[in-house]
Structure 1
Amino acid sequence: MSPQEVKQAAGGFTRTGRAGLFVAGMVLVSEAGWLAAALPGAALVSDLGALLVAGWATVACAGVARCHPTPLRRFWTLLAATMALAAFGRAIWTAQRVTGGTLPHTPLVGAIFTAGILTGAAALLCSPSAPRTGVGRARTLLDGVIVALALVPIGWVLVFRGVAAAELADSARTLGLLFPVFDLMQLTILLTVVGPGRPVWRPMSVLAVSFAIRVVADVGYVSLVAQGNYTPGHLIDVCWPLTYLLIGLATRYPPPPDCDGTEDTAESAPPPWWRVALPYLPVGGAIIAVVVARRPTGQSPHLLFVTMMALLAALALRQGLAANENLRLVARLRRLAYDDQLTGLPNRLMFNRRLRLALRDGRPVAVLLLDLDGFKQVNDRFGHATGDTLLTGLAARMRTAVAGDGTIARLGGDEFAVLVDGDRPVPPERLAERLLQALQPSDGEEDAGVHPSASIGIAEYGPQHTSHSDLLRDADIAMYAAKAAGKSAYRTCTPLLRESAVSRAELIADLRRAVDERQLQLEFQPIVDLSTGAVLSAEALVRWRHPRLGVLSPARFLPLAEETGLIVPIDRWVIHEACRAAATWRGRAPEATVAVNIAAAHLRRPDLIATVTAATASAGLAPRALTLELTESALIEGTEAVLERLRQLRELGIKIAIDDFGTGYSSLSYLHRIPATELKIDRSFVSRLDTGDDRAYATVQMVTRLADAFDLSVVAEGVETERQHEAVTRIGCPRGQGYLYGRPDHPATVGQNRS
């Protein structure tokens, strides 16, 4: 398709198309004026006007069929055939009327017009909003047939009873009822196929108006003929060319944006109640009409008897299709309820159901709970589409590894579970080994960095379990133990692990109250000038005075705080307390500053700047006296928003230190982006200086020179011996921190000379 054709298909008529529409419109207006004025030759003008407009509509539909996308070509082609049949039927009608002098209600003319209505109905079943399945299209067609048949008795009583008494041939009486019936069927199909919960494609609205006018025209025509009040050239004749003009007008609208030839699998909104009830609403009226039609003779007309039999057959077939559709819907709902839509594995609901059944039967049961390690990083780095693809592939591997020795399910996210019940020919531990082996990355996957490992927890049902929830809880405990063991491992739940998990849960509960109950306290470790021994700064270190366990170090409770999100309120408390303490000791050491560690979770919060500025302002501490220490791992996970937040902090005068420098993965690249003022050499390098480790010496020397090149201060952490002090001093490192210079202590001791 050329660009010009695409533009025409999407934007409406060409200049020729607009000219054709104008001419067709003028023909219709001229015909209406001629008939309204009752000028001579009105019958011929009526016939020729309808013939010309139908011919133009045929050309318009055929032309747009070539330009529109493939899914719409059959729709427009069938409408072109409908208009062609209308023009052909009108031509025969005109010829027979002119030569015969009477209304040509012949079987040939009736068959042509009826065929045109049927092709129009077929076009609707090929429209973009029509059902995609054969069953759906059959159901829609039956809806139209049921409505049409049900309205025959009603129309007989209200309008068409006089047709039987009119002096017309039998074929005329039959066709008089047949046209409105087919019209109503066509209009019902159109109302049914317009999809709920989505915008209506504009041509369908135009076609609805066209079909409604045709219903009115055919009903009015038959009524006039029955009463003997119709003559060729009657004003009602304008209605038919008007319907043709509207069909031609519908071709000017572009195709719907989602018409790409693919089946729409998205969930659609449920249809409104009236659309579900549409084929059944007129049935009650039809029954009443049949009862009325039996009076006064006590017998129904033969046509109504045949119609009611056909209506019952259509209803039975429609109900059969509905029952079939309900069965398919139940099966689909079952799949949605019990299957994971991404991997095809059973979901959490199905897994719990099978687990409860296995426990009810009293069979030996074990559960393997599997969690992918590092999967969040895959999503963050490569996007959720890559993550979904990875999950699908890993699920297939795990299904193959489990084979018939268990039931594997996806519980959600990157968490999977395996149910092993019955005789268990394969021990759960062996099954865990097979799963870990199946998840081992190939060379290509390892290089791409998109293949996480897994941690597996195993729990076997025993007397200590009262429900399936207890068993899953123990598997979860064992899984976290596997993660703590270094990941890519499995652990079996033991009484010791269970007791440790209970203690951990209790510690988390206590930690939630620690800030409010003032159980936290700060100690400060000095950072000294290596040449003079003067204290230049102090790092704030939080301690927890637990009412039962005594003083707990940060390593004991801060990881729990980070896992539970409690690290943010703890960080806030530390920042405020450190600023207040620093404000008191700056009277002894005016140039001394305070350093505070910031967790990655707090760094990602937009209220960090407000927290820091409020803390310094309330303590009366100059912002330049505060240093925020950030680990490399926290910075590596940072986004552009995080970097912008750090730049704003620097603009306020607050210093930024990169803690544990040298242990991350992107140190050099991040130095170009992070507005840091200080590097802290990790203690793992400093601790090896007094053992003659040349590599450690070279690393400290390299970091010191790197800091000089970037105009950054540098601090050697973990200096504990004189030999380490001499080494970092000889290298040229200006500052040091460690037990050699002072242990974490009360803030009152900060500011004293450590030389």
Structure 2
Amino acid sequence: MTWLVAALPGAALVSDLTAIAVSGWAGHACVRAARRHPPPLRRFWVLLAVTMGLAALGRTVWTVQRLGDDALPHTVLIGALFTLGIGTGTAALLCCAATSRNVVGRARTVLDGVIVGLALIPIGWVVVFRDIADADLADPLRTFGLLYPMLDLMQLTILVAVAGPARPMWRPLAAIGASLGTRAVADAAYVSLFAHGSYAPGHPIDVCWPLSYLLIGVAAHYPSPPAWDAAEEAVEPPLPPWWRVALPYLPVGGAIVAVVLARRPTGQTPHLVFVGMMALLGVLALRQGLAANENLRLVARLRRLAYTDQLTGLPNRLTFTRRLRRALRDGPPVAVLLLDLDGFKQVNDRFGHVTGDDLLTSIAGRMKAAVADDGTVVRLGGDEFAVLVDGDREVRPEHLAERLLDALQPSPGEEEAGVHPSASIGIAEYGPQHASHTDLLRDADIAMYAAKAAGKSAYRTCTAALREAAVGRAELIADLRRAVDEEQLHLEYQPIVDLATGEVRSAEALVRWRHPRLGLLTPARFLPLAEETGLILPIDRWVIHEACRAAATWRDRNPDATVAVNIAAAHLRRPDLIATVTSATAGAGLAPRALTLELTESALIEGSDAVLDRLRQLRELGIRIAIDDFGTGYSSLSYLHRIPATELKIDRSFVARLGEDSRAYATVEMVTRLADAFDLTVVAEGVETDRQHEAVTAIGCVHGQGWRYGRPTGLAGLRAALTPAARNRT
């Protein structure tokens, strides 16, 4: 650069030799990169090495012919070598790791570059040749020399398309892009200078060519890219930016204006401009044809995504809804079988979602084989499937349900491993009571829940009785939503007594619902619905606050008497449980030790470490923890050392058999000894007779609860039971 800018003697020779040396060095660097990089990239570097070799050869031939008294040797051989180098360079870009893998994608990339190059022909003509006389354009070089910067920009456009938005740009591509940009500037300046007759070998612009080769050599020294992650390849690439989509078409508008400006005073358009525009129109037509073909493929793919379940390959909910509506328009017979897998959540929790997905795929295949041509099997989502039976199919839905249940029976290996759930099937047949497809699906859903209630691996057909029961259930849920706000709930209290003294030591708060239409409802009638719908949370909060306020009123009669409240599993998993409890005790002015939270074994067994930590925090505040219905769970002993409990409540099913079953007596005795070992107080539930009272007292239970000591009663009745006279009678 210094030599050329200073115009020192021999600048032209220095320029040529430098270009030969640097291009040769860059070719050698590319060969070494091909050996160093993994196989997928070797072709890329080999083609770049060939490109640099052709550049070195072309510059050598140029230098030899120039020294042979040809000032500017523009021969066919030199032009062919440089053009061939552009071809191998373009092929290298198309072999890059970031390039589209399919032929259509590569063809689209090449056409984008050709469009840009052809659109620049009329623009370059106006910029370079407009003020040049026709006589000076007789030399074909002055006309066709414009193709060199066009080819450079074509390559640069291809590189931009190859880099794309799918991944971070590979660093060598940035250096190669800088090389192409530098060469495009050099070729454009050269053509302009030569067309105006002001170029001479050794011009400062000559430094751009060896600089472009130098950048290729620099690119070859970058390390290999990290291996593409297979999971990353599966992810849908992001949409390209708007300018990337519009890039091939941006110069076209300028080309149209340039065609008008390029017209001679005679009204003729220069031949090169005319040929270039015709070629541009042809390439644009081909590019739009590829775009139309790609759009058709995308539409087909979108249809598959929209109407097919991607996991199982079955039709999805949208397809099912469309076919069901069409079947109802065509008229009966139409039937829907709704399937829900029993116990699938346990498979996911125990073996993981990958096993769950494999199981769903296997079940889908079995269902499809069982139904065959007698219906359409679809996956609605999750572990829900459906079968549509319509048209001339003569199979009865009940027979089809039996075939499905038989097909879903686990094999011996699956049954032993516990990775195969059963299915509950609800059947609904189209009738006059179905105004739309939603009514038919509702009835199938009602029948499916009835099948679940009947046990695993069963089917039920929707009847008027089932429909009426479901409507009543829905109405009860709607009424339950208003029960708390309208103060329809109230508490009754069942005393828990000291078996040695007969004193009331505590009382369990039991919620009741004064339904405005159905009368007084017990917890068994509405609490399961509350747990299913999530309404148990506001009910639990109300019970805790109300029980704490009630306990504060009887502390004057018996300061040691506490209150016990049942907590649902859903509430136990919520982080705001501690805030609810502390707010209730503080608001009522009740000491935390006067409140006992009763938790079922199932709620504790399903609890996570966060739940156990929450219970420890409650114990640190002084709140007592009781394990309710002890003995009905399946892993209680393994949890006793982790749960910060203070009480065990022996389930009433054991107490009820104390006078008749020696094994029940042994069970209660064993639990009592176990509780003593863990320093836990034992409460015997369901004590109704004197014989049961004598048995639990003899075993060593400390506290008892049941009708023998008092039925659930209102707050006034409990306060009366707390008087000294009442305690003496007990």
* Smaller-chain TM-score bracket: over 0.9
1:708 equivalenced with 2:676 (yes/no): yes
Deviation at 1:377, TM superposition (A): 3.2
Alignment of 1:83-102 (within 5 A): 83-102=52-71
Rate the CA distance shift 1:701–1:339 in 2: closer, same or farther, 3 A.
Answer: same
Alignment of 1:41-56 (within 5 A): 41-56=10-25
Rate the CA distance shift 1:569–1:46 in 2: closer, same or farther, 3 A.
Answer: same
Q: Distance in 2 between matches of 1:76 and 1:163?
A: 45
1:238 to 207, 211, 228: 207
Contact 1:164 1:173 in 2 (8 A): no
Residue in 2 that maps onto 1:618: 587
1:661 equivalenced with 2:627 (yes/no): no
Residue in 2 that maps onto 1:225: 194
Rate the CA distance shift 1:256–1:509 in 2: closer, same or farther, 3 A.
Answer: farther
Deviation at 1:585, TM superposition (A): 1.8
Contact 2:99 2:106 in 1 (8 A): yes
Q: Distance in 2 between matches of 1:569 and 1:582?
A: 20
Letter in 1 for 2:120: L
1:335 to 272, 282, 304: 304
Q: Distance in 1 between matches of 2:55 and 2:467?
A: 83
1:513 equivalenced with 2:482 (yes/no): yes
Rate the CA distance shift 1:402–1:548 in 2: closer, same or farther, 3 A.
Answer: same
Contact 1:166 1:227 in 2 (8 A): no
SS at the partner of 1:659?
A: strand
Letter in 2 for 1:275: R
Contact 2:166 2:238 in 1 (8 A): yes
SS at the partner of 2:233?
A: coil
TM-score by length of 1: 0.91
Q: What do the CA deviations read for 1:93-151 (whole angstroms, capped 9, x no partner)?
A: 22332344422222222222222222222222223332221111111111111221121
SS at the partner of 1:278?
A: helix
1:553 to 522, 541, 547: 522
Deviation at 1:257, TM superposition (A): 4.8
Q: Distance in 1 between matches of 2:139 and 2:225?
A: 47
Q: Distance in 1 between matches of 2:509 and 2:332?
A: 56
Residue in 2 that maps onto 1:747: 715
Deviation at 1:168, TM superposition (A): 8.1
1:597 equivalenced with 2:563 (yes/no): no
Residue in 1 that maps onto 2:326: 357
Rate the CA distance shift 1:62–1:260 in 2: closer, same or farther, 3 A.
Answer: farther
Letter in 2 for 1:716: A
Q: What do the CA deviations read for 1:486-542 (whole angstroms, capped 9, x no partner)?
A: 233211111111111111111111101111111111111122222332222211111
Letter in 2 for 1:440: Q
2:340 to 346, 365, 371: 371
1:526 equivalenced with 2:506 (yes/no): no
Letter in 1 for 2:337: L
Give the % identical residues.
77
1:105 equivalenced with 2:74 (yes/no): yes
Moved more, 189-198 or 34-43: 189-198
Q: Distance in 2 between matches of 1:588 and 1:448?
A: 58
Deviation at 1:37, TM superposition (A): 0.9
Q: Distance in 2 between matches of 1:76 and 1:157?
A: 38
Residue in 1 that maps onto 2:280: 311
Deviation at 1:62, TM superposition (A): 3.0
Q: What do the CA deviations read for 1:162-214 (whole angstroms, capped 9, x no partner)?
A: 597558864x4465133222112101112222323653333333322221221
Question: What count of residue pairs does the alignment treat as equivalent?
Answer: 722
Q: Distance in 2 between matches of 1:464 and 1:261?
A: 53
Contact 1:411 1:417 in 2 (8 A): yes
Q: Distance in 2 between matches of 1:554 and 1:130?
A: 66
Q: Distance in 2 between matches of 1:259 and 1:51?
A: 36
Contact 2:137 2:143 in 1 (8 A): no
Q: Distance in 2 between matches of 1:71 and 1:748?
A: 85
Q: Distance in 2 between matches of 1:52 and 1:685?
A: 97
Letter in 2 for 1:259: W
Letter in 2 for 1:107: V
Alignment of 1:265-280 (within 5 A): 265-280=234-249
Letter in 2 for 1:604: R
Letter in 2 for 1:51: I
Contact 2:332 2:430 in 1 (8 A): no
Q: Distance in 1 between matches of 2:204 and 2:603?
A: 82
1:453 equivalenced with 2:422 (yes/no): yes
Residue in 2 that maps onto 1:3: none
Q: Distance in 2 between matches of 1:325 and 1:364?
A: 42
Residue in 2 that maps onto 1:159: 128
Deviation at 1:634, TM superposition (A): 1.1
SS at the partner of 2:493?
A: strand
Q: Distance in 1 between matches of 2:231 and 2:620?
A: 54
Contact 2:511 2:543 in 1 (8 A): yes
Rate the CA distance shift 1:257–1:477 in 2: closer, same or farther, 3 A.
Answer: farther
Contact 1:92 1:109 in 2 (8 A): yes
Q: Distance in 2 between matches of 1:219 and 1:451?
A: 71
Residue in 2 that maps onto 1:434: 403
Q: Distance in 1 between matches of 2:86 and 2:646?
A: 82
2:262 to 249, 269, 293: 293
Deviation at 1:370, TM superposition (A): 1.3
Q: Distance in 1 between matches of 2:13 and 2:127?
A: 32
Rate the CA distance shift 1:672–1:280 in 2: closer, same or farther, 3 A.
Answer: same
Q: What do the CA deviations read for 1:263-312 (whole angstroms, capped 9, x no partner)?
A: 82322333333332332333343344334434223333333333333223
Deviation at 1:253, TM superposition (A): 4.4
Contact 1:163 1:173 in 2 (8 A): no
Q: Distance in 2 between matches of 1:473 and 1:451?
A: 27
2:704 to 736, 742, 747: 736
Deviation at 1:477, TM superposition (A): 1.0
Alignment of 1:688-703 (within 5 A): 688-692=657-661, 694-703=662-671
Contact 1:69 1:260 in 2 (8 A): no
Contact 1:538 1:595 in 2 (8 A): yes
RMSD: 2.2
1:320 equivalenced with 2:294 (yes/no): no
Q: Distance in 2 between matches of 1:207 and 1:147?
A: 19
Q: Distance in 2 between matches of 1:115 and 1:163?
A: 32
1:480 equivalenced with 2:449 (yes/no): yes
Q: Distance in 1 between matches of 2:539 and 2:39?
A: 63
Residue in 1 that maps onto 2:150: 181
Residue in 2 that maps onto 1:27: none
Deviation at 1:258, TM superposition (A): 6.1
SS at the partner of 2:443?
A: helix
Letter in 1 for 2:715: P
1:397 equivalenced with 2:366 (yes/no): yes
TM-score by length of 2: 0.94
- Structure 2: where are the runs of 5+ without partners? none
Deviation at 1:261, TM superposition (A): 7.0
Deviation at 1:218, TM superposition (A): 0.4
